[in-house]
């Protein structure tokens, strides 16, 4: 029986140790937007900010106000009300009346084979006049210099697409833990420092900030080309890179924040269902979470002393990964302590998502059920 403990402990040491060593040496190669000068050399291009809002009465006004305060002047803001049932439509109308560069669009029906957010962003893009499109979310807060720096960086590096890893703000600690896990994993295991390399296959896209040239967006077929994929933001980045366009990802530390990504633990668990709604994926999520996120903690108290030491070493590597990530992202250096909690959330969310999708015939997200037979994650 002891050999099982040794194998599990050893596998965790190898996996977490390898990625911790690699990420420690490479993390600094992912740039930080705030370190960019915001002095534009040429006439700044018009940017069309497109925001899809579904029941966002708590966040929308705060987001728009942060955009209005941008030092970047050539800006239009297109708000798309995606079948909201709260005061979102009224807030949009009030903001449109207050600011001449803010326009609102109401959507009352969702066509077949469309995700709600993708459809809303697509409709908003058709109203846009900008040379660049910025797809973002209603719960995002922008530092006044964010867009100026983003445009300067994109022009300097001749980019077609720029995406930013946001900071996670607000009082909800579960959101901060989850955000740190998601983007620490993406940055390290996904080797995001390679995204800028045209020859590398790595790509990325984040719903908080996807700045893309209009001609590039149209060149990959717009959101129509991936209308029924739940991970629309990541897919956008993937298609842009695969088409041969230049792309980069930066830390948005001090420049871009998400306010209360999820306001409660049930919301966080429910978000997992958006990506894990089939039993094979749920089984994979459960297995990997149990073996690599939860077992090392229990392994501290199980098996022979040598196997316990292996688990302790693997946890030290996990803590170090979160620490390195925090040095660049602005997250908490101690967030590694929540690693097994996030693992449990992934397991519960994945299993519940697969069960609900099988009983309802589809994945339910923000009040809409999508047919899982055609839906992709």
The 10s digit of each residue's pLDDT in 102-124 is 999 999 999 999 999 999 999 99
* Longest Cα separation, the chain: 71
- Output the pLDDT for position 294: 97
The sheet carrying 140-142 orders its strands as: 140-142, 256-259, 167-169
The C-alpha atoms of residue 10 and residue 4 are separated, in whole angstroms, by 10
- In SS3 terms, the chain reads as CHHHHHHHHHHHHHHHHHHHHHHHHHHHHCCEHHHCCCCCCCCCCCEEEEEEECCCCCCHHHHHHHHHCCCCCCEEEEEEEECCCCCHHHHHHHHHHHCCCEEEEEECCCCCCCCHHHHHHHHHHHHCCCCEEEEEECCEEECCCHHHHHHHHHHHCCCCEEEEECEEECCCHHHHHHHHHHHHHHHHHCCHHHCCCCCCCCCCCCCCCEEEEHHHHHHCCCHHHHCCECCHHHHHHHHHHHCCCCEEEEECCCCEEEECCCCCHHHHHHHHCCCCCCHHHHHHHHHHHHHHHHHHHHHCCCCCHHHHHHHHHHHHHHHHHHHHHHHHHCCCCCHHHHHHHHHHHHHHHHHHHHHHHHHHCEEEECCEEEECCCCEC
- Mean pLDDT, contiguous 10-residue spans, the chain (377 residues): 88 97 97 89 90 94 97 96 94 96 94 94 97 97 97 95 95 92 97 97 97 98 94 96 97 94 84 86 94 95 93 98 96 95 94 89 83 80
- Match 């693997």 to its residue by tokens: 314
Task: Give the CA-trace dihedral at 27, 172, 346, 326, to 10 degrees.
Answer: 10
Which one, of 133, 138, 141, 161, lies nearest residue 256 by Cα? 141
- Output the pLDDT for position 151: 96
CATH code of the domain occupying 31-259: 3.90.550.10
The C-alpha atoms of residue 258 and residue 175 are separated, in whole angstroms, by 9
The C-alpha atoms of residue 340 and residue 295 are separated, in whole angstroms, by 9
Using only the alpha carbons of the chain, give its radius of gyration: 21
The 10s digit of each residue's pLDDT in 305-321 is 999 999 999 999 999 99
Q: For the chain, first and last CA: distance in Å?
A: 38
Q: Where in the chain is the domain with CATH 3.90.550.10?
A: 31-259
Tally of residues, the chain: 377
Which one, of 139, 58, 134, lies nearest residue 91 by Cα? 58
The answer to whether 251 and 184 are in contact (CB under 8 A) is no
- Output the pLDDT for position 177: 94
């Amino acid at each position: 029986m002891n050999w099982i403990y040794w194998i599990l402990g050893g596998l965790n040491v190898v996996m977490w140790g390898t990625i911790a060593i690699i990420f420690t040496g490479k993390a600094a190669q992912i740039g930080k937007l705030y370190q960019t000068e915001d002095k534009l050399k040429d006439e700044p291009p018009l940017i069309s900010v497109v925001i899809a809002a579904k029941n966002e009465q708590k966040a929308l006004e705060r987001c728009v106000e942060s955009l209005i305060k941008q030092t970047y002047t050539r800006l239009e803001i297109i708000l798309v009300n995606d079948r909201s049932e709260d005061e979102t439509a009224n807030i949009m109308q009030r903001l449109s009346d207050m600011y001449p560069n803010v326009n609102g669009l109401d959507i009352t029906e969702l066509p077949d084979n469309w995700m709600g957010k993708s459809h809303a962003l697509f409709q908003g893009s058709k109203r846009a006049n900008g040379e660049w499109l910025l797809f973002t979310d209603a719960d995002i807060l922008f530092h006044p210099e964010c867009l100026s720096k983003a445009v300067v960086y994109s022009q300097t590096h001749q980019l077609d697409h720029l995406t930013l890893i946001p900071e996670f703000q607000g009082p909800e600690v579960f959101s901060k833990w989850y955000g740190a896990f998601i983007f620490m994993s993406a940055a390290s295991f996904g080797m995001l420092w390679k995204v800028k390399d045209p020859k590398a296959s790595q790509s990325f896209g984040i719903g908080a900030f996807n700045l893309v040239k209009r001609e590039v967006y149209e060149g990959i077929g717009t959101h129509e080309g991936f209308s029924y994929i739940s991970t629309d933001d990541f897919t956008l980045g993937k298609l842009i890179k695969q088409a041969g366009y230049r792309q980069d990802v930066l830390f948005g530390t001090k420049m871009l924040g998400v306010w209360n990504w999820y306001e409660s633990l049930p919301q966080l668990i429910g978000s997992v269902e958006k990506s894990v709604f089939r039993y094979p994926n749920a089984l994979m999520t459960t297995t990997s979470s149990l073996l690599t996120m939860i077992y090392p903690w229990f392994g501290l108290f199980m098996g022979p002393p040598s196997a316990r030491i292996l688990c302790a070493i693997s946890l030290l590597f996990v803590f170090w990964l979160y620490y390195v990530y925090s040095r660049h992202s602005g997250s908490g250096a101690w967030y590694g302590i929540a690693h097994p909690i996030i693992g449990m959330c992934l397991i519960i969310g994945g299993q519940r998502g697969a069960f609900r999708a099988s009983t309802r015939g589809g994945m339910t997200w923000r009040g809409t059920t999508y047919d899982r037979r055609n839906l992709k994650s």
